[in-house]
Structure 1
Amino acid sequence: MQIDGAVAIVTGAAAGIGAAIARALVAQGARVVVTDLAADRVSAVAAEINETAGGERAVAVAGDASDPELIARTIEIARGEFGPVDLYVANAGTTAGMGLDSDEIAWHTALEVNTLAHVRAAKALVPDWVERGHGYFLSTASAAGLLTQIGSATYSVSKRAAVGFAEWLSVTYGDAGVRVSCLCPMGVDTELLNAGFHSDREGASVAANAVRSAGEVLSPEAVADVVIEAIGDERFLILPHEQVATMYAQKAADPDRWLAGMRRYQRSLMGDQPG
């Protein structure tokens, strides 16, 4: 995809990966609409982008990325300010819930934000992209969507569903000009990860420690650089942590052995060694 001149929407862009991707897209010549629940912070990101770019390259919209009305309004704002949307980065995420004690509200929130927000955005955009013959959907999932997340069932399941939807979208509309990428990082130095160390939710610190100890924790900017390169190559699976590909292959080759290894890893994180 040619980023220069493209119109993009980036959700969950008040900080972290979303803000870094938005900045990187504008640096490559795109114009962006950034959205987030945190109105003041996402407005500050847009203002900072415009100041750096020396012109009106970003617009902020506050709201819930899973809300169909917000999705429709954001698309209309992008069209009115910059033109038809070429790229949608479904990046907003939540760590709501943890294990079997997660209530229905936590499950609902995780699936709404981590999965159904992607589905609703695609429903709003793909028909126009098919008519135009081009469009790009980038789903921020997680290595947890390919592997699993120790400590959090809600995150594992909702991110796995996001990967599955991205695959389906590519299979179904790839021949119609719709390109799809799925971003699956491990540890990234974001508020979502860091909050796990200070949470009193059962399993939250275990989940955060699992991510921290699995490999290098990258900066959001490093992840954004990989994303920009992958969009240019129109690569489906974006793995900023290269070891995820090896882990994914090991899982597919011998699921029982992989699951046993994950159970050993979980015991080590919880301080329980096998007898």
Structure 2
Amino acid sequence: MSLNGKIAIVTGAAGGIGSAISRELHAQGASVAIADLRADAAKHLAEELNTLRPGSAIAVGVDISSTEDAAAAVDAVRSGLGEVDILVNNAGIDKIERFTDSTPDSWRKIIDVNLLGTITMTRAVLDPMLERGSGRLINIASDAGRVGSSGEVVYSATKGGVIAFTKALAREVAAKGVTSNCICPGPTDTALLGQVAEFSEKLYQGLSRAIPMRRIGQPVDIAPAVAFLAGDGAAFITGQTLSVSGGLTMN
């Protein structure tokens, strides 16, 4: 499998799963735009990748909840690397709390980033993909969007929305050579999982015991699945939801 010559944007790319995805796509030959709200962290990762292959990565500071910011970020990628072949919508936020303790302000922030941010970034890259007759849209949802998760009610709703968005868009763009797929990580060792442990150690331990492979996932467990969906070997796969969860959820 090779992504030589391909140009990818990864959102939330400076975080745990995002950085693993960025490194994997880069290792497969893609040039990668490290898109993240934390511009300094994005710059650091881009510099790391450029030491391996000069000129193959750029950092883009972006707030994906802003339509204007998302459009400007995509324009920056086009200027810095070229036209986008692969979009990985990975950026996401959450606040672990019971729904009855949550607030409308919290709901809006989670929805704006997780769902509307995914929609906004997708729209910003889509037209040239359709014109060229090729493109890969890969959305990082969550098994919480498939089965629900205590303490993550609105988060689960947004991830369920991302899954539905992925499938519906796949139907619209399939004939144009653009694929749209979704990856649902299970419990993965990230800052978000740390919030779960702080919220309820019992819940965290229960998640660990429930995974048939008897371990929490690592960001590097997610990245190869993204690289596969980005490559030529997945050209006839679209509208699919793949759980990477150590068997916690099974279709």
TM value normalised by structure 1:
0.81
Equivalent in the alignment of 2:216: 217
The higher-RCO structure (CA 8 Å, 6+ apart) is: 2
Equivalent in the alignment of 2:69: 70
After superposition, the CA RMSD in angstroms is 2.0
Instruction: Give the deviation of 1:170 after TM superposition.
Output: 0.6
**Contact between 1:22 and 1:32, CA under 8 Å: does it hold in 2?**
yes
**Contact between 1:96 and 1:109, CA under 8 Å: does it hold in 2?**
no
Equivalent in the alignment of 2:14: 14
Write the mapping of 1:50-199 to structure 2, written as runs, cut at 5 A.
50-51=50-51, 53-96=52-95, 98=97, 99-198=99-198
Instruction: Give the deviation of 1:5 after TM superposition.
Output: 0.9
Distance 1:45 1:205 in 2: 32
Instruction: Give the deviation of 1:86 after TM superposition.
Output: 0.7
**Contact between 1:10 and 1:90, CA under 8 Å: does it hold in 2?**
yes
**Contact between 1:94 and 1:110, CA under 8 Å: does it hold in 2?**
yes
- What secondary structure, in the 3-state scheme, does the structure 2 residue paired with 1:243 have? coil
Q: 1:12 to 1:209 in 2, by over 3 A?
A: farther
- The sequence identity of aligned pairs, in percent, is 32
Distance 2:170 2:248 in 1: 21
Distance 2:15 2:165 in 1: 25
Mark the runs of 5 or more structure 1 residues left unpaired by the alignment: 250-275
Q: Deviations over 1:118-140 (max 9, x none)?
A: 11112222222111111111111
- What secondary structure, in the 3-state scheme, does the structure 1 residue paired with 2:101 have? coil
Q: 1:157 to 1:144 in 2, by over 3 A?
A: same
Aligned residues: 242
TM value normalised by structure 2:
0.89
Instruction: Give the deviation of 1:97 after TM superposition.
Output: 5.7
**Matching residue's letter, 2:243:** L
Q: 1:35 to 1:209 in 2, by over 3 A?
A: farther
Mark the runs of 5 or more structure 2 residues left unpaired by the alignment: none
Distance 2:229 2:249 in 1: 15
Instruction: Give the deviation of 1:209 after TM superposition.
Output: 4.6
Q: 1:179 to 1:244 in 2, by over 3 A?
A: farther
**Contact between 1:181 and 1:231, CA under 8 Å: does it hold in 2?**
no
User: Post-superposition, which runs of at least 4 consecutive aligned residues in structure 1 deviate over 6 A?
Assistant: none
- What secondary structure, in the 3-state scheme, does the structure 2 residue paired with 1:32 have? strand
Q: 1:175 to 1:106 in 2, by over 3 A?
A: same
Distance 1:204 1:167 in 2: 33
**Contact between 1:71 and 1:121, CA under 8 Å: does it hold in 2?**
yes
Distance 1:85 1:26 in 2: 14
Instruction: Give the deviation of 1:96 after TM superposition.
Output: 2.9
Distance 1:211 1:12 in 2: 24
Q: 1:130 to 1:204 in 2, by over 3 A?
A: farther
Q: Deviations over 1:81-114 (max 9, x none)?
A: 1110111111001113631221111110111111
